[in-house]
Amino acid sequence: MANSFEFNKTIIKIGDTVSLEYRIKDGEKERTQLFKGIVLMVKGSSAVTRNITIRKISKIGIGVERIIPLSSPNIVSLTLDKKSSYDKSKLFFIRDYTESETRNKLYSIKKTRKFKKATSVSSGQAPSTGLQ
């Protein structure tokens, strides 16, 4: 099981925001539907059995998830909209978050804390760690 997959020469990872155009057949009519959301999970060991789960928040605030087989002939296009810097294997914890909390968690750059280097002190005092 991998945390990323390749679709039409584009590498997509878990946490990325993608746009999926899916062909839907309504009786004799055929239309394409756009589904834009975050990749939650990649399942399947080979290219034929690989499925992805995409989650979006609808206009009224309800979360909608869709499981899509990547080998489906009904996929018109799958494009990468936004890269994520997250490294978890599955993102089921974002089901409890609001849209803004999810955005902050997945797309924020983590800040590292920098310390001042301790210098040798000849007066017998302990070196400072840079914290005050």
Q: What is the gyration radius of the CA atoms in the chain, in angstroms? A: 22
Model confidence at 64, in pLDDT bands (50, 70, 90)? confident
| Topology given in CATH for the domain delimited by 4-94 | SH3 type barrels. (2.30.30)
The segment with the largest mean pLDDT, out of 62-71, 78-87, 90-99, 122-131, is 62-71
* Per-residue pLDDT tens over the stretch 117-129: 655 555 556 555 6
- Stretch (H or E) spanning 100: helix 99-107
If you write DSSP's letter for every residue of 25-59 in order, what string do you get? EETTEEEEEEEEEEEEEEE-SSTTT-EEEEEEE-T
Model confidence at 8, in pLDDT bands (50, 70, 90)? confident
Return the closest-CA partner of residue 38 out of 69, 63, 14: 14
- Name, in order, each residue with C-beta under 8 angstroms of 2's C-beta and a sequence gap of 6 or more: 42
